[in-house]
A = this chain, B = another copy of it.
Amino acid sequence: MRDLGNMRASLRTVCLTVLVSALMGAAAWAFLAALDLVTGARENHLWMFALLPVVNLATAWVYRNHGLRAARGNNLVIDSSITGTPIHARMAALTFVCSVATHAAGGSAGREGTAVQIGGTIASNVATLFHLDGRERQDLMLAGISAAFGGVFGTPLAGAFFGMEMCTIGKLNYSAGLYCLIASFVGDLTARTLGTTHAFNTIASVPAMEPATVALVVAAAVAFGLMARLFSLSIRTVKRIYASRIKNYLVAALVGSLVLLSVYAACGLYRYGGLSEWLVTAGFEGSTGPADVVAKLACTALTLGAGYQGGEVTPLFGIGAALGGWIGQISGVEPSFMAALGMVGVFGAALNVPITTIMLSVDMFGGQAAAYFVIVAFISYLVAGHRGVYPAQRIVTPKR
């Protein structure tokens, strides 16, 4: 029997989890509403892409001079969860404003990075306020991550497991499970109550489990894992090139933004800017090709590699759905089925979160085709290797 003191501590963590998650849910709602606003504006005003240099210069300057260590983004949240180092409240404000600016100017980025940093900041500050330390503080941090994911994507089950999986490779943090679960549901519920809505694509039909289909899914899972690898590698490479070739950080930021802008303009890739959620839908409809995959990958690498704020998940969804939908077309298998596998599989492999991957498929597609998603989750996870998009992840069980 757990003793009373233990029970009291758990109960306190539960109460603080609800507090953190409600705050995070409200933040998720505000963030998504702001994104909607700027995305709508940008889609109607192509000139807003001209803001790209301004946004990147401002982002670089403010993070360098007033960002403390916030430029480390999700890696700082991971470190803070594991080591207990507090996160300054400024991190949340900075990432909120700068991410919205990224999307206003048409940078190709996502949302989970911003959300996780806001969630981590809220949790860390609440933990400090209530003098939590050790395991209690860690549990609250992971709960904050869960609330962020659940709130921003409207996927409470995936959110719950994301908090348990994000900080480590090859380990699921069972002991934070209950807090992460509560956090993700409260975060999602709060955002929805405030008016956030989420629309998921649907799988038109799931093919029967025959050897040929399983073989195709396995081959596709390998492709999804390789794509995840390529995604992380591309961002890392772009980042390294700018950092090593250009001494002055403002010049680097300017060059990075101009390269991105030139690529948009020269290749007419404006529609791959921002969240480009149409790409997921196109993947499900089977109207994507390899050009879509390459374009979104390039725009995202040039955006995140240049230092813009924003997340990786929505671009990963787009790239995965586009790749999957294309594999579906050329192999004669239902595109929406393959797009769903690709969307979830590339995401999970790039972030090293296989159980979250499975639960995300349950959130989005209601357990339909669960066996296929489990296959894709594990194979793409193994293929993706150890260097995901979060270098701070601790490797607990190496992949073999």
Please report A residues at the B interface, Cβ cutoff 8 Å: 1-2, 6, 9-10, 135, 139, 156-157, 160, 170-175, 177-178, 181, 185, 354-355, 359, 362, 366-368, 370-371, 374-375, 378-379, 381-382, 385, 397-400
| Complexed CA–CA distance, A355 and B173 (Å) | 12
Contact for A362 among B354, B362, B397, CB less than 8 A: B362
Interfacial chain B residues near A171, Cβ < 8 Å: 171-172, 174
Residues of B within 8 A of A382 (CB): 177-178
B172 near A172 with CB under 8 A, answer yes
In the A-B complex, the 3 residue pairs with the closest CB atoms: A367-B367, A170-B174, A177-B378
Set B173, B177, B362: member contacting A370, Cβ < 8 A: B362
A175 touches B367 (CB 8 A): no
> How close is A212's CB to chain B, nearest CB, in angstroms?
15
Q: In the complex the two chains form, is A178's CB within 8 Å of B362's CB?
A: no
Residue of B nearest to A361 (CB): B367
CB distance from A75 to the nearest CB of B (A): 21
Return chain B residues, CB-CB under 8 Å to A355: 172, 355
> Considering only CB atoms, which chain B residue lies closest to A6 in the complex?
B400
Interface pair B135/A181, CB less than 8 Å apart: no
A216 CB → nearest B CB, Å: 16
Q: Assuming the A-B contacts A10-B400, A355-B172, A397-B173, are A379 and B178 also in contact, with contact meaning beta carbons closer than 8 angstroms in the complex?
A: yes
Q: Are A374 and B160 in contact (CB under 8 A)?
A: yes
Chain B residue numbers with a CB within 8 Å of A374 are 157, 160, 181, 359
Let me know if A175 and B181 touch, CB within 8 A: no
Given contacts A367-B370, A371-B157, contact A177 B354 (CB under 8 A): yes
Which residue of B is nearest A396, CB measured? B174
A254 nearest CB across to chain B (Å)? 36
A355 CB to closest chain B CB (Å) equals 7
A300 → B minimal CB distance (Å): 23
* Contact in complex: B10, A181 (CB < 8 Å): no
Query: Hey, which chain B residues are within 8 Å of A375, CB to CB?
Result: 181
A170: chain B residues within 8 A (beta carbon): 174-175
Q: Which of B135, B173, B378, B385 contacts A178 (CB 8 A)?
A: B378
Contact B172–A385 (Cβ < 8 Å): no
Q: Which residue of B lies closest to A366 (CB)?
A: B367
Give the distance in Å from the alpha carbon of A379 to the alpha carbon of B14 in the complex.
13
Nearest chain B residue, comparing its CB with the CB of A386: B2
Residues of B within 8 A of A368 (CB): 366-367
CB neighbours of A173 from chain B (8 A) = 397
Distance between A19 CB and nearest chain B CB, rounded to angstroms: 18
Q: Which residues in B have their C-beta under 8 angstroms from that of A139?
A: 400
**In the bound complex, CA of A6 to CA of B370 (Å):** 29
Question: Could you say which residues of chain B place their CB within 8 Å of the CB of A172?
Answer: 171-172, 174, 355
Chain B residues near A177 (CB-CB < 8 A): 354, 378, 381-382
Measured between beta carbons, the chain B residues less than 8 angstroms from A174 are 170-172, 354, 381, 397, 399
Q: Which B residues are CB-close (under 8 A) to A6?
A: 400
Known: A160-B374, A362-B370. A175 touches B2 (CB 8 A): no
**Bound Cα distance from A375 to B181, whole angstroms:** 7
A2 close to B400 (CB less than 8 A): yes
Q: Which residue of B lies closest to A229 (CB)?
A: B1
What are 5 A-to-B residue pairs whose CB atoms are below 8 Å? A157-B371, A170-B174, A173-B397, A177-B378, A362-B367
